[in-house]
Amino acid sequence: MQSDGMRVIGTAGHVDHGKSALVQRLTGIDPDRLREEKKRGLTIDLGFAWFDMDGATVGIVDVPGHRDFIENMLAGVGGIDLALLVVAVDEGIMPQTREHVAILDILNVNNAVVALTKCDLIDDGEWREMVALDVAELLDGTTMQGAAIVPVSAHSGEGVAELMTAIRDGLQHPADRQPSGYPILPIDRVFSIAGFGTVVTGTLTGGTLRTGDEIEIQPGDLRGRVRGLQSYKQTVQTAHNGARVAVNITGIDRERIERGSVLSLPGLSRVTTRADVFYSHLPEATHPLKHNARVKLFCHTAQAVARCRLLDAEEIRAGESAWVQLVLDTPLVVRAGERFIVRSPSPPATIGGGTFIQTAPRRRHKRFRPPVIEALESLRQGTPAQRIAQAAHTTTPQKSSALLRAADSNDPSAIQQALDDGLLIEILPGQYMATGAARGLMDRILDQLSAYHQANPLQTGIPREELRSKLGIKLNLLDALSERIPVCIEKDRIRLESHQITFSASQQAQIARLMAALHATPYTPPSFKEAVEIVGADVLYGLIALGEIVQIADDVILAPTAYAEMSAGVSRMIAGSGSVDAKAVRDAFATSRKYAIALLEHLDEIGQTRRVGDVRVAGRNADA
């Protein structure tokens, strides 16, 4: 028996000598902590107890049995190793018993023991046997089929030893849960203690939590630190996977936390208001689930109102399963593969449940689309590599550690398998994207470039920063993606390989006039404004982009030959006398002061020259 991974829950019974009395007999702890519970002899909210077995601590989450408190019961049934189903032998199977069994079946709880309580009140052996047969029949076909059924009396102690033996046997085969490698604590209680501050409790899964750890509580993006830990009333420095834990937190006010929040390490919890799920409607459901129906959804300790968008059915009838996209009224923390329960708001009843398949779909799916259903089916049947690819389906490259956390995996080989299967691309060194996500971004780049070229045929390409902004990605990712598609990056612009600037016959005639004017007076050429009057702004910008004309100032343009001669001349004059001023440049090229200053300021900007007082000397890029 492992030391930190055992939990048991009670799921039915609500009168004296029933469930809570049995828990007290097993543990010596009364799980009913509320005054009203003690007054009414009725479990209303979650109770907690524990006992030692073979050197291990077995924690009990005592959940309400009465139908009026089913929703409180649902907060306590997540992440358990064994269900202790309590049925009073004098009452037999009650409606809430059937609902609890249905809930445990939906949650895939396949490890259970049945306690037939209050046997001290019934001496009739045939009656006990009949109730046991009824319970066995109820469990037949569920995940708890074949569970041990033990008659017991909390009052007299009859059968308690046999029940403990059945629990011990059941705990030899705890629930098969893949540790995530990091701690996850769905919070079921929040309170404060004078002198200590905020305390939250829950059942820890996934990994270990240590005093001093920085933590995050979601939803709400709350950051704090673990001040102290208790497990089963004992102060500990480290809490392990499977333990009941009370966490004393600094940095977060009690009022900002509620049941249903999730405590984990910073950056590891995914919050969503939309999820794709595979849903099953209970065979006992009296009404079908219709498209856009509003329901109450329960996952671990959290609940939310959700709208059900049926993706492959007009309605889901009793006993049927289908694909549903849930749209949540409030954000929840969920993980792929987790199970959930659905209840109808009115009349209140459990109607079904299922499994989260895609916890943060990028878009609202259109209904009755075979490709959508095929993709979801692939994820449902998905291998670890496919789960990794799903986690990598973002527009931001992910490191391997982040992918493993997001996919709830601790198997690094899944990343290599995803690469080998073509599901994943190492888009940057040590950073990965799902192949589909990367291809989607590449298609968007090509679409953006095509649209830009159509709107700006006389531009060589779109500025890289402008394209990056439109895509909402980082520049290094844009460059990495561009290496995989037919595009060219030239200076600060990017274009399709197939794009070329072409001028019409009339535009070419206008260009010839402008070039003749530039060459006629190369050092005192027409101004930018005058050039626009000759060829038009679009054509002029196109000529500048092609390098057919050099723009050195807002209103000063030169033919490339004149620009080369003037910049080379400035360099020769500096080499000969150590410096040059605007007057010398003006005289050397028989130009005006306007052009001489524009040239020198341009050469300063590109580093060919450097201004010192009223003269220029060689700049940092003079050799180039």
Whether residue 352 has pLDDT greater than 90: yes
Please state the rounded mean pLDDT for residues 462-466: 93
Q: Considering the chain, what is the average pLDDT of its residues?
A: 88
Strands (E) located in 175-221: 184-193, 197-203, 209-210, 214-218
| pLDDT computed for residue 5 by the predictor | 39
Domains of the chain: 6-171 (3.40.50.300), 184-264 (2.40.30.10), 271-376 (2.40.30.10), 383-500 (1.10.10.10), 505-618 (1.10.10.10)
Strands (E) located in 435-478: 462-463
Instruction: Summarize pLDDT for 58-116 with one digit per residue, the tens.
Output: 888 888 766 656 787 787 777 788 899 999 998 899 888 899 999 999 999 888 999 99
Please state the rounded mean pLDDT for residues 521-539: 92
Please give, one letter per residue, the 3-state secondary structure of 318-345.
CCCEEEEEEEEEEEEECCCCCEEEEEEC
Which percentage of the chain shows pLDDT scores above 90?
Answer: 60
Contacts of residue 553, defined as CB under 8 A and 6 or more positions apart, other chains included, come to 598, 601, 602
Q: Which of 19, 21, 32, 29 minimizes the C-alpha distance to 83?
A: 19
The more confidently predicted of residues 47 and 323 is 323
* Four-CA torsion 301, 97, 163, 29, nearest 10 degrees: 50
Amino acid identity for residue 375 in this structure: A
Confidence class of residue 344 from pLDDT cuts 50, 70 and 90?
A: very high
- Residue 65, Cβ neighbours under 10 Å: how many? 26
| pLDDT computed for residue 522 by the predictor | 94
Contact 528, 540 (CB under 8 A): yes
How far, in whole angstroms, is CA 604 from its chain's centroid?
50
Q: Looking at the whole model, is its pTM more than 0.75? A: no
Instruction: Summarize pLDDT for 556-584 with one digit per residue, the tens.
Output: 999 999 999 999 999 999 999 999 999 99
Element (H, E) at 495: strand 493-496
Whether residue 37 has pLDDT greater than 80: no
Element (H, E) at 62: strand 56-62
Bridge partners for 433 per DSSP: 425
Which percentage of the chain shows pLDDT scores above 70?
Answer: 93
The more confidently predicted of residues 6 and 9 is 9
Whether residue 255 has pLDDT greater than 90: yes
CA dist 144 to 81, 105, 148, 248, Å? 12, 7, 9, 36
